[in-house]
Amino acid sequence: MIDVQVEEKDGVIQFQAIHEQWPSSEITSIHFCEKYAKEISKLQEIRQVLRDFDWIGQDPNRYQNTGFGNLSGRISEGFLISPSQSSHVARLAEDAYTWVKKSDIYQNRVYSIGHALPSSESMTHAMIYRLCPEIDFVLHGHVPSLWQQSLIATSPEVGYGTIEMANEIKRLFDQGMLKPYQIFKMSGHLDGVLLFGNDIQKLIQTVKQSIHTIAYGI
């Protein structure tokens, strides 16, 4: 088990990661992937669309070639999330998604199992799952065409992947702005947009439309 805490800028983990490598003491990666084959295949399907539409990727002309975007899907215990530093990979292996078993938002701690550390924005995903029990997928993309629109937004002073971001999401939720739209932008995180829901085809449709316009009319 490794215990990592690093504080850096974009793309790097800002919480304490209590991470265990496969095989874990309770289950092997093969059995885990069999158990959650349906959820993993949905993540693979939507990740392909996110890559095709540049919500997730790595590009020498954007953000000093730092990888961007991530996605997660709820499972019976916690959620599966794309691993840290994986945005450049065209197609992830089935067992590449990191299992976030537990997250303690106010201790800034994430407990995970996987081949690699969980996405640096795991805490943000954790907060959305906590607030919206009916939600099964959270997608984070970098989408200039959406970010430039007047979407519901987190405060510009708040950085990505932090406890402050989790609190900002709670604020939007408490103000009734999170659930009706299921999309918001992070004003302090260039081009950063969060989209969530549980109808995979509807989510894919929104991603595809975002290149032109967004129909939320906020």
**Choice between 29 and 210, CB closer to Zn ion:** 210
* Alpha-carbon span 21 to 57, nearest angstrom: 25
Q: Quote the least distance from Cβ 38 to Zn ion, whole Å.
A: 27
Q: Residue 60 corresponds to which tokens in the numbers above? A: 């020498």
Torsion angles phi and psi, residue 73, rounded to 5: -140, 135
Q: Which of 91, 105, 115, 84 is nearest to 6 (CA)?
A: 84
Q: Show Cβ contacts of residue 188 under 8 Å, excluding neighbours closer than 6 positions.
A: 154, 155, 156, 157, 158, 159, 160
**Choice between 44 and 66, CB closer to Zn ion:** 66
Q: Residue 110 corresponds to which tokens in the numbers above? A: 């994430």
Q: Quote the least distance from Cβ 142 to Zn ion, whole Å.
A: 6
Q: Quote the least distance from Cβ 53 to Zn ion, whole Å.
A: 15
Q: Quote the least distance from Cβ 179 to Zn ion, whole Å.
A: 22
Find residue 197's DSSP bridge partners: 137
**Choice between 32 and 161, CB closer to Zn ion:** 161
- Point out which residues bind Zn ion (CB under 5 A): 192
**Choice between 118 and 192, CB closer to Zn ion:** 192
Q: Quote the least distance from Cβ 67 to Zn ion, whole Å.
A: 9
The answer to whether 127 touches 169, Cβ cutoff 8 Å, is yes
For Zn ion, the nearest residue by Cβ is 192
Q: Quote the least distance from Cβ 160 to Zn ion, whole Å.
A: 5
**Choice between 188 and 192, CB closer to Zn ion:** 192
Query: 41 burial class (0-12, 13-18, 19+ CB within 10 angstroms)?
Result: exposed
β-bridge pairing 137-142 and 2-4: unpaired
**Choice between 29 and 83, CB closer to Zn ion:** 83
